Amino acid sequence: MDREDIRQAPARVLIVDDAPGVSEVLGMKLEREGYVAVVAASAERASKLLEVDEFDVILLDIRLPDGSGFELLTRLRQRRSLLDTPIIVISGLDQTSDVVAALQDGANDYVTKPFDLAVVFARIRTQLALKRLKEANDRFLHVAGHDLKKPLVSMLDTARQLRMDFPVETPMTENGQAALTALIESGQFMQHIIADLLELRALRDRRMRVQKLQADLGAIVRQAVARNTPYAKSKDIELQMEFERDMPNIQADDTRIMQVLENLISNAIKFSPPGGTVMVRTSHDGEWISCEVSDTGPGIPKKEMGSLFKEYVRLSSPATGGEQAAGLGLAISFELVLLHDGEIGARNNPDRGATFWFRLPVG
């Protein structure tokens, strides 16, 4: 399974075909390849499924027992764009004119009977890649339109007010200094979002490389904890460490693993209440070295557990200090751990709070 498969939930494919042999073979092969396949033997059944469920790709036979696949195609295109719901029409070798008509009516692609399964899967993967790209662009526009636009408007308002209140050679008051501090902090937040966006894109495009050398995870943890101690103290949170002795080294880019740790520790502090505790633990289990960051916050809602490491995801629980976040840190951490051939995850603690963990192979 490749990195894209790990990151994304299984793609859902709807097969609309009344030929049992075709739908069964396609469904079986799709399931073996890691997809979720659902079969509808008629246009009516497909319509009912599409009313209550979403599919990433639709394979649509243009000759159906209860009507033309063209009619279903037309109805679907009235509600879903080519990139939102890719539709690949299924045709016979002697149906060239039908294929042309289907493409003109909004089909993304076509496959012919009898199938070359390698071609079918290549075309499904191509349509999914285009759909994912569109989704990524939509999320980027959301960030640009919300997370960047809002602080930018605030910065401009503050700057204009400062210019009015303190013309040239006018001494800056305490209120003016506070406004200037807020202006700088907004700029730094925007800078952080832009840096994260560029870094995540580089990771997703596989343009980022890590330099793996012998590294001591315990030393990396100590440094990450030291860096986050002032933040923890500012919220009256106790930041603790617990190490397993005599752990072997790992092969890692220590700067990138430090980045992962800082993301997890700062998140734990962000969602912990005053007087709470954040514990960072290391352990060794056979060929793996693990690190856990546990907090005493509200925990992770069950419905949000599956989307924690996706980009732009924000938990419904607010940060206890009103801190801002772009929702990119965990997605970046996920990618960095994968680059080290490791694993990362999260769970709720039995009593309260949550634990985020990652593990890396012994060097």
Per-residue model confidence as pLDDT tens digits over 135-160? 777 766 666 666 677 677 778 888 88
Task: Show the beta-strand stretches assigned E in the chain.
Answer: 12-16, 36-40, 57-61, 63-64, 67-68, 87-92, 109-113, 213-215, 238-242, 250-252, 277-285, 288-294, 343-348, 354-361
Architecture of domain 3-115: 3-Layer(aba) Sandwich (3.40)
Residue pair 331/200 in contact (Cβ under 8 Å)? The answer is yes
Per-domain residue ranges of the chain: 3-115, 137-204, 213-361
| Beta carbons within 10 angstroms of residue 37's beta carbon | 22
CATH code of the domain made up of 137-204: 1.10.287
Give the range with max mean pLDDT: 84-88, 142-146, 153-157, 277-281: 277-281
Q: Which residue has the higher pLDDT, 248 or 189?
A: 248
Checking if the pLDDT of 108 tops 50, the result is: yes
**Confidence band of 2 (pLDDT split at 50, 70, 90):** very low
- Rounded CA-CA distance 296/279 in Å is 9
How many CA within 13 A on the CB side of residue 251?
Answer: 11
* pLDDT band for position 290 (cuts 50, 70, 90): very high
78 has a pLDDT exceeding 60: yes
Task: State the architecture of 213-361 in CATH terms.
Answer: 2-Layer Sandwich (3.30)
Q: What φ, ψ does residue 67 adopt, rounded to 5°? A: 150, 180
Of 134-148, 156-170, 348-362, minimum mean pLDDT range = 134-148
Which of 288, 274, 263, 287 has the alpha carbon at shortest distance from 356?
A: 263
Q: Is the pTM for the entire model greater than 0.75?
A: no
Nearest partner of 8 among 101, 97, 131, 188, judged by Cα: 131
Backbone angles phi, psi at 302, to 5 degrees: -55, -40
**Is a pLDDT exceeding 70 seen at residue 72?**
yes
